[in-house]
Amino acid sequence: MKSDFDLLTSQFQHSLSTGEAREFVFKELLRQYLPPKLGVEKGIIISSVPDERPSKQIDIIIYDKLNTPTLYSAENLRIFPIEGVYAVIEVKSMLNNSTLSDALDNVRSVKQMTKRAFVPQGGVITKTFSLYGKQTSYFPVLGFIFSYSSIQDIKSLKDQIEGKDDLQNVEKNTDTVCILNRAIITNQTNEGMIVVSKEPNTKRGFMSTTDSLLLFYLLMMHVLPQAWMDPIKMTDYSQGVSFGTFEI
């Protein structure tokens, strides 16, 4: 992973702006190492709920590549329904108090969106997910931040994340932060297990390690390969569109 990361960086750092190159390199790395069923794109996420605002442009969206229709696709803009989104990642060149606050707000803006537009499924086999202390029939959105560098005081970043955590609605919180070659800010259960998602029974902590990218990948791989979704009910996204009168 490190060698691939370095190779991609050397190939694209001169042809793109610094911000674009760093987003592109990390996105390409994820495409290489995540299961093929998971798509990796930049874009905007919308909900079928009329009063829920679209997200800002999200640096990296991990979505169900096999079953998620793209609502709009252009060279620099793609729009995805929230139902098909499994995770979002904000990419930063430098993580400090200001950029961290912006990233936390962007992640939360997606995680508080409503997943509801699914085609009802029947039959013997049903699937539920257990995340954030709840049982749901859909896979909730995981929220991450990836940064190429940061201020020296990792604990202050961890404390800032804790200060903005919604303890009553843990599913709205950023889950894990990875700082390349420096540290990872993540979660530990009461039993001492490190987990990628911010669960009700976990505590925030950080680990200084030059292998932060590998650890981040391994933690994601505990959860993301299990993601699955019912078909999206696309008619819920056509509200306000008049198709004419149905006649018999």
pLDDT per residue as tens digits for the range 204-218: 999 999 999 999 999
- For the chain, what is the domain count? 1
Distance separating alpha carbons of residues 169 and 209, to the nearest angstrom = 30
Q: Does a structural domain hold residue 24? A: yes
Distance between CA atoms of 135 and 132, rounded to whole angstroms? 8
**Contact (Cβ atoms closer than 8 angstroms) between residue 174 and residue 198:** yes
* Structural domain that includes position 205: 2-115+127-230
Q: Dump pLDDT digits (tens) for 68-112.
A: 987 888 777 799 999 999 999 999 989 999 999 999 999 999 999
Residue 245 lies in a domain: no
The predicted structure's pLDDT at residue 12: 64
For residues 163 and 204, is the Cβ–Cβ distance under 8 A?
no
Measure Cα distances from 7 to 10, 11, 26, 57 in Å: 5, 6, 12, 27
Lowest mean pLDDT among 13-22, 59-68, 145-154, 162-171: 13-22
Q: Let me know if residue 235 belongs to a domain.
A: no
pLDDT above 70: residue 16: no
The pLDDT, as a whole number, for residue 24 is 84
Residue 221 belongs to some domain of the structure: yes
User: Distance between CA atoms of 160 and 10, rounded to whole angstroms?
Assistant: 33
Q: Which amino acid is at 106?
A: N
- What's the CA gap between 39 and 191, in Å, rounded? 33
CB 232, CB 64: distance < 8 Å: no
What does the pLDDT read at residue 85? 98
Phi, psi of 190 (to 5 degrees): -60, -25
246 pLDDT band, cuts 50/70/90, is confident
Phi, psi of 197 (to 5 degrees): -100, 150
Of the candidates 80, 5, 35, the one whose C-alpha atom is nearest the C-alpha of residue 221 is 35
Q: Tell me, yes or no, whether 236 lies in a domain.
A: no
Q: Which three-class secondary structure state does DSSP give residue 117? A: coil
Residue 75 lies in a domain: yes
* Predicted TM-score (pTM) of this structure: 0.92
196 and 175 Cβ atoms separated by less than 8 Å: yes
- Residue 52's DSSP bridge partners are none
E strand or H helix at 30: helix 18-33
Which of the given ranges, 1-5, 99-103, 122-126, has the highest pLDDT on average?
Answer: 99-103
Question: For residue 105, is it within any domain?
Answer: yes
Measured CA to CA, the distance from residue 156 to residue 25 in angstroms comes to 28
